């Protein structure tokens, strides 16, 4: 039988900042992979604040998670667009750009795609 696990994103095992102090990703690690809380400040845009870290033309991670607060606009490489807000569950496939809409920080709990997100290349 598997053991119960309790971890808190309020006491992350790892924190990864994004460029220019525009946010961070806080992570807890599970055998199935990392779970993260991404907090992005107004003015944050993937192509400006994570692209220099990822060194790819668009975000190549899939994300599956829940929006806690704020709003995020996502545009796929093929032009498909969507906006996520509080209470929304979302799946975002690889190949996208995204940015915070409005003047409230965007907070997203992501349980897919966080193992190497915003992690500098070695």
> How many folded domains does the chain comprise?
1
The structure's pTM equals 0.93
Q: Say what the alpha-carbon torsion angle 95, 101, 105, 109 is, to the nearest 10 degrees.
A: -40
**Dihedral (CA of 32, 33, 35, 40) sign:** negative
Q: Is residue 46 part of a domain?
A: yes
Residue 120 lies in a domain: no
The answer as to whether 92 is a domain residue is yes
The verdict on residue 23 lying in a domain is yes
For residue 70, the domain's CATH number is 2.60.120.10
Residue 62 lies in a domain: yes
Domain containing 87 equals 14-110
pLDDT tens for the chain, 122 residues long, are 888 999 999 999 999 999 999 999 999 999 889 999 999 999 999 999 999 999 999 999 999 999 999 999 999 999 999 999 999 999 999 999 999 999 999 999 999 989 999 988 77
């Amino acid at each position: 039988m598997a053991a119960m696990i309790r971890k808190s994103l309020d006491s992350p095992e790892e924190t990864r900042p994004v460029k220019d102090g525009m946010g961070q990703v806080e992570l807890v690690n599970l055998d199935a992979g990392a779970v993260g809380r991404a907090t992005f400040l107004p003015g944050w845009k993937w192509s400006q604040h994570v692209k220099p870290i990822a060194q790819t033309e668009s975000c190549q991670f899939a994300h599956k998670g829940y929006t806690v607060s704020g709003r995020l606009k996502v545009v796929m490489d093929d032009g498909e667009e969507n906006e996520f807000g509080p209470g929304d569950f979302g799946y975002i496939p690889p190949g996208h750009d995204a940015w915070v809409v409005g003047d409230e920080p965007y907070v997203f709990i992501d349980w897919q795609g966080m193992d190497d997100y915003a992690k500098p290349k070695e």
